[in-house]
Structure formats: structure tokens, C-alpha cells
Amino acid sequence: MVSKGGSEALLQALMNVAQTAQPDYSILLPLLRLLAKVGQRDRKFGLKVQKLDAIDVTLSLARKNLTHHLNLIHCLWVLRVYASSVSAGTELGINGAMELLFKVITPYTKKHSRTVRAATEVLAALLKSKSNSRRAVNRGYLCELLRLYQDWHRCDASNRYIHIRRGLLLCLKHITNIRSARETFLSARGLEILFTTAQDCLDSKLLDPIVTTVAQILRKCYPKGPLPLATVHSSYSFSLPGSVSSESPRAGPEDGYEDDGEEEVEKDLDNEDLEHKEEELETGSEDEKDFEDMPGSLPGTHPRVIPNAAFMKQQHCRHRDQSAVGPEPEETAFKTPVQSWAKKEKCTGAPALEKQAMGESIRDADALCEREDPCRSHAPTLPPPLKEASWDTQTFHTHCVSRLGPSRMGGVGASNIVTKLLERHQGDIPFHSPHFYMARAGSTKSIPDYRVLAFPDFWGHQPPPYCQSLLERKYGVQRAKIFEDVSRLIQPSEVIDRVVFDLDGRSPSSTDAPDCLRFYSKFESGNLRKATQVRKFEYDLILNSDVNSVQHHQWFYFEVSAMKPAVPYRFNIINCEKVNSQFNYGMQPVMYSVKEALQGKPHWIRVGSDICYYKNHYRRSAATAGGARGKSYYTLTFTVMFPHGEDVCYLAYHYPYTYSALMSHLDILEETRNPKKVYYRQQTLCQTLGGNPCPLLTITAMPESKSSDDLEQFPQSSNHYNVMGLNSAPIEVNGRFAIVFNTNGMEADVNH
């Protein structure tokens, strides 16, 4: 019908009938109903309406029938279709359509509710036009909409008129797309009004459309501001060869900031209940899609990767090809037989093993507490010994396990306490040596000059003995978090707002305030920059950007301690950048417990509830958004209940894999190979900008004999290379683990 000119014919018929002295409504009403249906399918309906001057005719009919609601509602249906066109909607606003609609939209009444509902739908469509929104703000219609919504909400106790209440909210949602409307909305206490009224609707699933729309408005109208940082530039800087130093960009507000529309603002909340409607992640949104929820994919779960005890020789430290890699001073720091850290038995939590490990871990805690805490002070003051089973983190801290010496190249010193700890807990971690890791970490150069090792990296880890499925998303969790965020602005007296960790401060150590978690991240791959206590058990976290950068905040890895058991702690990482995340689809962060590790369960496990990822009110500068203006950061929020009190735990985006771990794995690989079958050579391809070697491996089969025929075949077999180009960013842990799988897989192929 549209392609055959049906729209033009109906509009012309409308003009002819409406312009008569006494319009025949028996013809006019069916014609209006037909126009309302056909117009929805005609993409050029608005242009046709303007061309035939049908807007003035329809508005005139509506004005003549203000008291005749049957005729009026038919006119409103057609006006709603007109308003779906931007140009036609603008002309309707100029010709006084909004004044007409506010005569129809009255305070709460049980009469003519269908007419009121149709009028709110037309007004919501008109306010999608920015010119109409500005006109409505200038004439005071925004405050009138707030009063109307309050009245309908208060009087509609039986929830019979949900569509009218939501229609009024849609009007507020569209009008607040412009900055002047948001300012008027805030001055009229719109945030408080909608927040208060929404509290009455949270318990009823019937009112979900209202709660969702309110959450969208609250998030959009929440005052925008920069991150609570002096500068968005990384805490660490590095002078590149030949570069000219430049001033770090500031995180100040941008001039002329105004939203161009609500499409980006709302798109991750419109479908926020993902069990009803999933949306596709944008291509390449996160690099951990295929690997992050497979805890069995760690090195220890592949029999080809774990060195067989038959190939483990009673040798001390490796003897590297001196022509390829020069001698390293830390090679003699620890001389532990390879057999001492071979896997002896599976750590599956057998009762006898757990009982024995528990007793040993308590004794180890007492022994470790006799050492100083290097993250607090480098003075040689010894703390008093603790009683048995005491785990106070002022003394028992992951940094007590190992501390790098004052000289970066002077080797690593290990106390007798650490040695005894390692002797008691014989290496249950396959393909990992704490000794080799400490030695390698001592020679790894870093811009922050790390002096502390994270316990999971030093001690090692195993996959948990059970599979973990994707987390089922809780219904309505995102909007609940948004309401909690808005309550900070409305009820500021409940906000503590205390900085408990600041990497940019004089000392990165956490505060010693009571009932407060302690944070730390100054170790390899750690990147927590600032932690602020918002409420008693809630913390806002800010991640440090990449070196010499103002962006790239997605990976996280930090330490937390001084917790209480079985208490839900909420963590909000507030400066994420990607528009969507796998955390909205069942992914969970990983946690490593030092107490669990000392009890024989050194596992990274997936933890967290009430997980969601959504846009927040912190505005990104043009420098951090690739030149784009008006972009916002995103919040990743999750709640964790720690299994032990006064524990030391680590939280991360994914299983961490540091450069030091890679180098120590290569050391172990060389130690555990069969030199009679495997030719292994490690050379330095180049030096990184930070001064660390980039290894080049050659792995092939040894000649079967020293005969001329076999020796002639050797160069041919060694000319085949597998080149692996893998990203070196901390978030690229999948790529880093791929190095281990590929190198060990090549060696296993040669061995067999």
C-alpha cells in the first residue's frame, strides 16, 4: 500500500474531510486509525505530512475535540506517528503541540486514562528533538513533568496506570538529553524525587519498566566529573630514547561538554537483565574470551607440559650457553636440586594432607612473623613474635616471604626462615621453582624498581581440583548498583570517603585505620593506584595506566589484607575503558589466598557475586579517549566474601603471568630436558627498552650419532622455526601461557 501511494492518498483524504464545515467523524475516525497504522510502515511519512500541510489540520482537529475524548485519542494516535519524524516533530513543537498536550495530561484521574496515556506517548516522541526539549525547558515544562509524575506515583497505589507513569518518565528521559535540562532537573531536586519514588518499586517485578527507566535517568543526570586524581598520566614514566619530555595531561573538566544523545549512555542498561536479552560484545572487546574461565588450562594440567621425574637430574643450577647469554650474578643464589620442586602428589585436599599442611602453615606463620615487613620500613627492627595461629598482617605479609636487595643486580637474599618454609612445603607446584623465580625476579629490571614479590608469583599455583562454571547473572543487579551509587550524592553523610591506599603518595602502604582493608600493588604486574573507602565494606579502586600513557585500564592485580571472614566486601574499579565486558556474561575475577596456599591449596579460584560492568559518571578527557570528547569511564563492581580473617589475598583479572615467571620457566625447561634427545639453546634476540633480555629459543632433536650423515641432517632440522608473536601487556596472560605450552610441547614432541 505504501509503495502504491497509499500514504499520500490517505493524507489527501484527511485534508478533504477535515476542512469541511462539519467534518463527518464516521469517516474521519476510521481514516485516522488507518493513517496511524500505515504511517508506522512508511519511512518517508514525515516528509509527506509536511508536503501536504497535514500537521496544522491534525492539530486543529485535536484542539476542537479537547472535550470529546474519543475523537481526541484518534488525533493523538496520528500525531504520535507524525512525531516519529524529526523534521515533522520539530514543526509540531513550533506550532504549539506541546501546549496542547499539557492541557490533556492532567494530574491523577481515573477518567479518560487512555487519552492521557496517548498524550504522554506523543510528548515523549516530541521531546526526542533537541529543539523541542530546549523549548520545553524554557517554558518550565520539565518541572511540570516532575510534579505530574509525583502525583501519579503517589495516587496510583494499585499500580493500574503503570503505562502513564512510565510515559512521564520517558518524557523526562528524552528531555534530559540536553545539558540545560539536566541542570534544571538537578536544581528541581529531580534526583532525590526519582530516587525516593523508585524505592517503593524495587520489590515488585511488575514495576520493572519504571525502575529501569528511573535508573537510566539517574545515571544520565548524575553530575559528571573527572577521576579523583591529580593527573590521569601513569604514576610511572620512562624516558624513551630520542623522546622529548612533555607535560602530563591533566584530568580537569572539558569545556563545552554536552551529550549528543543517549544512545551510548543507555545501551548497556536497556538490556541490563541479560537473562532476557543478550547483546553481542563488540569485536575484540576482551582478550580472555576463550581462556579465562578454564581453570584446568594452567600448565599443571597438561601431562606433556609437566616434566617427568625420569628426566630430572640431580643438578644444581643450569649451565647456559655462554656464547649466547652471559653469566648472571644471581645464578648461584640458590642451588636446589630439580627433584626438590618436582610434583610429588596431587594437592586434592585429602584430610591427612590438609591436617598436616595446616599444622605446618601455623608454624610457618609464627616463623615468618619474626621478620620485618619491608613494605612498611626497611629498618632492621624485628617485631615481637606472635602467638600460634596469629596472622596479623602487620607482621605476616606476603612481602615477608621475599625481599629484593638494595642493588638490583646484586642477587637475592633469602633468610633461613624462608629456606625452612620451602623445606617444609616441598614443591607441590609442577613446573615452578620459588628459588628460580626469586633469582630471576632479582635480575628483572622494572621502571618502579620493584623490591617485593607477590606471594602467588613466588610460591606458585595450581588449578583448583574442581571445575568452576560461569556465574549466573543475578536479576536486576546493575540497576541496584546504580541506585547505591546515586545514594552517595543524595545521602553524603553515609559516605566515608577515606583514601586508604595511594601509589602517588609519600608511601604506597595502606592506612592503619581500624576496620579498614589494607591494599598493596607495588610488585610485578600489580597496577592498583588508589583505593578509597566509600562505606564500611565498600571501596572504590583506581587502576594505574600503562607506563607513559593515560589509558589502557582493564587488567588489575593487587593485594588486600586485614579482612574479616564471611563479610561481603564490595570493590568498584571505576576507571575501566571498554564499553562492555565478559563480566556481564558470567566471568568472575580470580583470588589467591596465602592461608589456603600454606594449607596445601595454592589455587587461583574464581570468586565474586553481584558482578556487573556499567557506565559511571566519571568523565574521560579527550587525551584518554583518543581525541573523542564526552566519553565516560566504566565501573566493574563485584562483592567478595573472604574465607579467612586476617588473611593476605590477591585479586586479579585473570591468572597473572609475569616476565620473571616466563624466564624462570625457561630455566626449568632447560634443566628438565633430556640432553641426549633434545637440542635446546637460548639466545638473546634483543634487549627491551627497559633493559631486559628478549629470549630466542632453538629446540630441535639431537643428532642420533656423531656420524657425518646425522650431523649433516642436524642443520636442516634446526632451520625450521615456529615464530610466536605475543603481546606483552599484563592482560595478555593467554599469550604468555601459550609460550609455556608451545615450548614444552615442542620439547615433549622431541622427547617422544
Evaluate whether 240 touches 689 at the Cβ level (below 8 Å): yes
- Flag whether pLDDT at 149 surpasses 90: yes
Rounded Cα distance, 596 and 334, in Å: 26
First to last CA, the chain: 74
Report the pLDDT value the prediction gives residue 306, as an integer from 0 to 100: 30
Evaluate whether 218 touches 191 at the Cβ level (below 8 Å): yes
Q: How far is CA 597 from the centre of its chain?
A: 27
246: alpha, beta or left? (left if phi > 0; alpha if psi -120 to 50): beta
Which band of pLDDT confidence, cut at 50, 70 and 90, is reported for residue 253? Answer: very low
Q: Average pLDDT over the chain, rounded to whole?
A: 75
489-652: which CATH number, 2.60.40.3120, 3.40.50.10190, 2.40.40.20, 3.30.70.250? 2.60.40.3120
Q: Where in the chain is the domain with CATH 1.25.10.10?
A: 6-221
Range scoring the smallest mean pLDDT among 29-43, 156-170, 663-677, 706-720: 706-720
Closest CA to 401 of 294, 523, 518: 523
Which band of pLDDT confidence, cut at 50, 70 and 90, is reported for residue 248? Answer: very low
Range scoring the smallest mean pLDDT among 141-150, 521-530, 668-677: 668-677
Average pLDDT over residues 597-611: 92
- Flag whether pLDDT at 618 surpasses 50: yes
Report the pLDDT value the prediction gives residue 562, as an integer from 0 to 100: 92
Rounded Cα distance, 592 and 281, in Å: 29
- C-alpha triplet 492, 495, 497: angle, nearest 5°: 120
What Å distances lie between residue 88 and 54, 97, 178, CA to CA?
Answer: 10, 11, 20
Evaluate whether 580 touches 268 at the Cβ level (below 8 Å): yes
Highest mean pLDDT out of 96-105, 281-290, 434-443, 502-511: 96-105
Closest CA to 397 of 263, 509, 293: 509
- Flag whether pLDDT at 414 surpasses 60: no
Report the pLDDT value the prediction gives residue 737, as an integer from 0 to 100: 56
Report the pLDDT value the prediction gives residue 427, as an integer from 0 to 100: 58
Stated as kind and residue range, the H or E segment containing 571 is strand 568-576
Which band of pLDDT confidence, cut at 50, 70 and 90, is reported for residue 368? Answer: very low
pLDDT tens-place string over residues 116-130 = 999 999 999 999 999
Report the pLDDT value the prediction gives residue 625, as an integer from 0 to 100: 60
Cell of 215: 535508573
One-letter amino acid identity for 267? K
pLDDT tens-place string over residues 283-309 = 333 333 333 333 333 333 333 333 333
- Flag whether pLDDT at 170 surpasses 80: yes
Which band of pLDDT confidence, cut at 50, 70 and 90, is reported for residue 52? Answer: confident
Quote the percentage of the chain above a pLDDT of 90.
43
Cell of 274: 541479560
Rounded Cα distance, 460 and 434, in Å: 7
Q: How many CB atoms lie within 10 A of CB 138?
A: 11
pLDDT tens-place string over residues 420-431 = 667 766 656 778
Closest CA to 136 of 165, 104, 178, 108: 178
Report the pLDDT value the prediction gives residue 117, as an integer from 0 to 100: 95
Closest CA to 580 of 219, 274, 262, 253: 274
6-221: which CATH number, 1.25.10.10, 1.20.59.10, 1.10.510.10, 3.40.50.300? 1.25.10.10
Report the pLDDT value the prediction gives residue 297, as an integer from 0 to 100: 33
pLDDT tens-place string over residues 531-562 = 999 999 999 999 998 888 887 778 899 999 99
Which band of pLDDT confidence, cut at 50, 70 and 90, is reported for residue 4? Answer: confident
Evaluate whether 404 touches 440 at the Cβ level (below 8 Å): no
558-590 in b/e burial notation, b at 16+ Cβ within 10 A? bbbbbbeeeeebbbbbbbbbbbbbbbbbebbbb
Closest CA to 246 of 229, 231, 226: 231
Phi, psi dihedral angles at 86 (to 5 degrees)? -60, -45
- Flag whether pLDDT at 405 surpasses 80: no
Average pLDDT over residues 212-238: 90
- Flag whether pLDDT at 260 surpasses 60: no
Rounded Cα distance, 633 and 616, in Å: 6
Torsion of the alpha carbons at 617, 219, 611 and 655, rounded to the nearest 10: -20
Average pLDDT over residues 489-517: 82
Q: Which residue has the cell 475516525?
A: 29
Q: Which residue has the cell 574442581?
A: 466
Report the pLDDT value the prediction gives residue 270, as an integer from 0 to 100: 42
Evaluate whether 447 touches 408 at the Cβ level (below 8 Å): no
Q: Which residue has the cell 498536550?
A: 101
Rounded Cα distance, 319 and 331, in Å: 9
Strand partners, 543: 528
Stated as kind and residue range, the H or E segment containing 605 is strand 605-606
Report the pLDDT value the prediction gives residue 304, as an integer from 0 to 100: 32
Quote the percentage of the chain above a pLDDT of 70.
68
- Flag whether pLDDT at 394 surpasses 70: no
Strand partners, 271: none
Average pLDDT over residues 395-399: 40
Rounded Cα distance, 120 and 31, in Å: 22
Torsion of the alpha carbons at 129, 133, 134 and 136, rounded to the nearest 10: 140
Cell of 520: 598493596
Report the pLDDT value the prediction gives residue 430, as an integer from 0 to 100: 79
Report the pLDDT value the prediction gives residue 542, as an integer from 0 to 100: 94
DSSP string, 613-635: EEEEEEEPPTTTTTT-SS-EEEE
Closest CA to 455 of 339, 334, 602: 602
pLDDT tens-place string over residues 59-102 = 999 999 999 999 999 999 999 999 999 899 999 999 999 999 99
Evaluate whether 728 touches 690 at the Cβ level (below 8 Å): no
Torsion of the alpha carbons at 60, 136, 155 and 191, rounded to the nearest 10: 160
- 3-state secondary structure (DSSP) of residue 71: helix
Which residues have CB under 8 Å from 362's CB, separation 6+? 388, 389
Average pLDDT over residues 210-237: 90
Average pLDDT over residues 187-209: 92
Q: Where in the chain is the domain with CATH 2.60.40.3120?
A: 489-652
- Flag whether pLDDT at 634 surpasses 50: yes
Which band of pLDDT confidence, cut at 50, 70 and 90, is reported for residue 506? Answer: low
- Flag whether pLDDT at 274 surpasses 70: no
Rounded Cα distance, 305 and 281, in Å: 33
714-740 in b/e burial notation, b at 16+ Cβ within 10 A? eeeeeeeeeeeeeeeebbbbbbbbebb
Average pLDDT over residues 622-645: 82
Report the pLDDT value the prediction gives residue 476, as an integer from 0 to 100: 87
Average pLDDT over residues 680-697: 89
Structure pTM? Answer: 0.75
Rounded Cα distance, 721 and 712, in Å: 18
- C-alpha triplet 320, 748, 716: angle, nearest 5°: 70
pLDDT tens-place string over residues 563-588 = 999 999 999 999 999 999 999 999 99
Evaluate whether 581 touches 656 at the Cβ level (below 8 Å): no
